[in-house]
Amino acid sequence: MEALETCENFLAIHPGHFDATLLAGTAKIVLGDPGGALTLLATAVRLRPQSCEALLNYGVALHHTGDHAGALAQCESALALGADTPEAHNIRGNALRALGRPEEALASYERVLTLKIDDADAWSNRGAVLLDFGHPEEALQSCTQAIALRCDFAEAMFNRANVLGALGRHHRALADYDEAVRCQPGYRAALANKVAILIMLGRHEAALAAARQATARDPSHVDALVDCAIAVGRSGHIAETLAAYAEALKIAPAHVAALRHCGAASQEVDEPAQALATFKKLLKVRPADADAFCQRGRALLALGRHTEALASFDQALAVERSHALALGSAGFAALHLCDWRRAERIARTIEWGVAGHGMEVPPIVLLSLSDLPQVQQAGAENFAATIEAPPLPRRPPLAEQPFVTEKIVHLPDCYWVRGTTRTIAQDAPDRASDQVPDREAAGLSAGGFVFCSFNDVFKIARPVFEAWMRLLAHQGGSVLWLRHDNDIACQCLRREAAARGIDPSRLVFAGPAAPAEHLARHRAADLFLDTLPYGGHATVADALSAGLPVVTCKGTTFAGRGGASMLGAVGLPDLVATDLATYEALALRLANEPERLADARRRLEIQRTTEALFDIDRFRRHIEAAYVRMVELRRSGAAPRSFAVEANGETKVAPQ
């Protein structure tokens, strides 16, 4: 600092003095201000164009400020003047590496070692470029040699840490990053890479501490702020995460990583509008970013803007045809619009990608499309088996263990439990308990049979819809009461009904309602029809809570057998079909035989107060028994094991 002040004072009196100008520029580089050195060193080169020292130092300043091509040009000029020195070749190699020319960079470092075998900079730089080439063991030797030559060489320790990380020796890498920071306090890149490894190892609190150390050294360092935000998010402090991203974006509004992670964090806390605004900003910075288009589409999907979402996924696929998340999300958006033709085209692409090209598609899309032959051929059902939840009653317990790595704890009855204290509007004190909602006010016929399904519209697959249309055709005057999701889906479903000879007006759509009112309106329906292969869960529980019988079909995946599980747990297993044809026949029989339907409704009304589905205390006893058994196994020193909890609360450990 004193040398710089001396030079600046001298230049104030003697402007244009070459030696003072060169020394002042060099001092600024040493003090970490290469941007401030540029003007001084450019002046030095202009004052003495033949000075190799001025050319090389100017090259260093250009390199550190991101002008690697300019840095290389200065080095080439110095070499042309005869500066065949280790320093010149090291600077040239660094510029070439930054320009993506690793072969030439390696040749430069090798030239340094020919001139000076004990040049620590060259050994360190050589190690870095060898890692670029994918030769980590040789890179490790080179970096270690650099450290042996200079024990406090922070950059060599940083390079060796990178090599150790690539070799999977993460704990040794962390030690080298720490040593690099000890030798060079505030070493930003070392702290950033340390944070990344700690996050990867799941040591989120330690990552957060390292990230905060980086931001404490330089509160305006955007990369450090982003690292800190990532670490905070992994530690579960989402509000602080968003604040850290906001701080980073105040400093650098176009910072790609900050925008990308901020948008993702907004999605995670269910703020799709904020996520949408963030991804729009990202696309202004990177207009051909497939991931940004995809994430914008997911935000639109969460906002219920399905047509716009589908267009955004199409833009992602136009940039990157095999973008798996965009492809799967486009399929999901198409299902929300009941655009089955588009969904089937996506299914064919899934078949091509999964079967032959290792494409990974979101599970929800595979499950939703699993009735399509293309997806079945791609192995969707096998895929879905890996995310099984507790099996159905009377299904062999623990049968799914071969498909999962975790140990299974199997509870009796059903994974879902519903209390009996939820308010139904008609049960309010000022209403008669037997009052039936006004059908005409809901747009339903006063006397016809009402089939009902309030499942999400994306679960309505073509085969089950065709079964529903056959039910309407057989049951004159009946209607199908569905949930209104979006206008386009309603139009598509009515168009599909007309194509099958059904008056589109027989499809009635229910708008949003308060929870108590929604439960009450189930009583205006006669029979709830579940969807398949992706069935209802909360919607089936709602129907049963309101006393509305449900017909379902037992699927092959967790997503497709929730309804069957609930019907078993409420004592109505006779309303569970084994296939689509049986499902259709059962629904038609109930519609045609009022006594049979009345019996199902009567049994449901009685069993709602006695059966497992509505017995929270029973569920509590079972899950507590499971926790007790887990603790017993842990305290005994035994390895985790699968086991089943019996209906009486006893546990049965599965054989190994």
CATH of the domain at 581: 3.40.50.2000
Q: For position 423, what pLDDT does the model report?
A: 62
Based on the fold, state whether residues 483 and 607 are members of the same structural domain: yes
Q: What is the pLDDT of residues 608-630, one digit of tens each?
A: 888 999 999 999 999 999 999 99
**Tens digit of pLDDT for each residue in 542-599?**
999 999 999 999 987 788 889 999 999 999 999 999 999 999 999 999 999 999 999 9
- Residue 505 and residue 565 share a domain: yes
pLDDT at residue number 488: 95
Per-residue pLDDT band at 390 (split at 50, 70, 90): very low
Within this chain, do residues 555 and 632 fall inside the same structural domain, yes or no? Answer: no
The pTM (predicted TM-score) of the whole model is: 0.70
Reduced to 3 states (helix: H, G, I; strand: E, B; else coil), residue 645 is strand
Domain-embedded: residue 471 = yes
Q: Residue 52 pLDDT > 80, yes or no?
A: yes
Cβ neighbours, 10 Å, residue 337: 22
Identify the CA nearest to 113 among candidates 149, 77, 79: 149
Q: For residue 44, name the pLDDT band (cuts at 50, 70, 90).
A: confident
Residue 374: both structure tokens together? 């293309």
Task: Report the C-alpha gap between 74 and 205 in whole angstroms.
Answer: 45
Amino acid at site 501: G
Predicted confidence band at 394 (pLDDT cuts at 50, 70, 90)? very low
What is the tally of structural domains in the chain? 2
The yes-or-no verdict on residue 469 having pLDDT over 70 is yes
Which residue shows structure tokens 């040239």?
92
Residue 235 lies in a domain: no
633-647 tens-digit pLDDT: 999 999 888 888 888
**Contact between residue 308 and residue 278 where contact means Cβ atoms under 8 Å apart:** no
Q: Tell whether 520 and 588 lie within a shared domain.
A: yes
Residue 289 burial (10 A CB sphere; 0-12, 13-18, 19+):
buried
User: Residues 630, 498: one domain?
Assistant: no
> pLDDT band at 358, cuts 50/70/90?
low
Shared-domain flag, residues 577 and 484: yes
Q: Given phi > 0 = left and psi -120 to 50 = alpha, else beta, which region is 514?
A: beta
Q: Answer with the residue of higher pLDDT: 650 or 174.
A: 174
The residue-averaged pLDDT of 395-411 equals 72
Is residue 542 assigned to a domain?
A: yes
Question: How do strand 651-653 and strand 643-645 relate by DSSP bridges?
Answer: antiparallel
Q: Are residues 513 and 526 in the same domain?
A: yes
Q: What is the predicted pLDDT for the residue at 380? A: 36
| pLDDT at position 398 | 64
pLDDT of residue 319 exceeding 90: yes
φ, ψ dihedrals at 216, nearest 5°: -65, -35
CA contacts within 13 A on the Cβ side of 257? 11
Is the pLDDT at 301 greater than 50? The verdict is yes
Task: Tally Cβ neighbours within 10 Å of residue 187.
Answer: 21
Residues 594 and 462 in one domain: yes
Instruction: Determine, yes or no, domain membership for 487.
Output: yes
Half-sphere exposure for 285 (CA within 13 Å, toward CB): 17
Tell me the C-alpha distance between 343 and 337, whole Å: 10
How confident is the model at residue 431, as a pLDDT?
46
| End-to-end Cα separation, the chain, in angstroms | 71
**Other CB atoms within 10 Å distance of the CB of residue 405:** 6
Would 192 be classed as within a structural domain? no
CA atoms within 13 A on the CB side of 506: 23
- d(CA 70, CA 94) in angstroms, rounded, equals 12
Q: Strand, helix or coil at 552?
A: strand
Please check whether residues 547 and 599 belong to one and the same domain.
yes
Q: Indicate if 570 and 636 belong to the same structural domain.
A: no
In the prediction, which pLDDT does 376 show?
A: 42
437 three-class SS:
coil
Residue 643, φ and ψ in degrees, nearest 5 = -155, 165
Task: Based on the fold, state whether residues 510 and 644 are members of the same structural domain.
Answer: no
pLDDT given at position 493 = 97
Domain that holds residue 586: 454-612
C-alpha angle 38-39-45 in degrees, rounded to nearest 5: 85
Residue 369, pLDDT > 60, answer: no
Q: Percentage of residues in the chain with pLDDT exceeding 90?
A: 50
* pLDDT higher than 80, residue 377: no
Q: What is the pLDDT of residue 429?
A: 46
Average pLDDT over residues 434-438: 61
- Check residue 173 and give its pLDDT: 95
Q: Considering the domain boundaries, does residue 442 fall inside one?
A: no
Q: What is the pLDDT of residues 418-429, one digit of tens each?
A: 876 666 665 544
pLDDT in tens, 180-210: 999 998 787 888 888 889 888 888 778 878 8
* pLDDT for residue 402 is more than 80: no
Q: What is the CA radius of gyration of the chain?
A: 34
Helix axes 256-268, 290-302, angle to 10 degrees: 30
